[in-house]
Amino acid sequence: MQTGIHPEYREVVFHDTAANVKWITRSTLSTNRKITMDDGKEYPLVILEISSASHPFYTGKQQRILDTAGRVERFNKKYAKKAA
């Protein structure tokens, strides 16, 4: 690898504010915020509004809206017997 052209790859804490979940992973994102975790180390902090911990699709709380009346009407309209 060439020196001086790659971003710094380091451990970063991501905090999902909707679910109040924090996790440490490696990233190249830059931030001015810092947080001290339970292990006593200080890490850069990235704030997220939503992640897989709080997104309705991943948590299984997604509401499904069924348009059964519209489906039945379309079916009847499409396959109704034509008047002779």
* Domain span at 43: 10-79
5 occurs within a structural domain: no
Q: How far is CA 35 from CA 12, 22, 61, 63, in A?
A: 9, 11, 31, 35
β-bridge partners, 16: 21, 48
Whether 55 is covered by a domain: the verdict is: yes
Query: Rounded distance, CA 82 to CA 84, Å?
Result: 6
Q: Which two tokens stand for residue 17?
A: 């504010």
In a domain, 21, yes or no: yes
CB 45 within 8 Å of CB 34: yes
Give yes or no for a contact between 15 and 45, defined as CB atoms under 8 angstroms apart.
Answer: yes
Per-residue pLDDT of 5-24, as tens digits, reads: 998 899 999 999 888 999 99
Q: pLDDT for 44-81, tens place per residue?
A: 999 998 887 777 665 666 666 666 677 778 888 888 87
73 domain-assigned: yes
- Judge whether 70 lies within some domain: yes
- Number of domains comprising the chain: 1
Per-residue model confidence (pLDDT) at position 39: 93
- State pLDDT tens for residues 32-42: 999 999 999 99
In a domain, 84, yes or no: no
Which pTM was predicted?
0.64
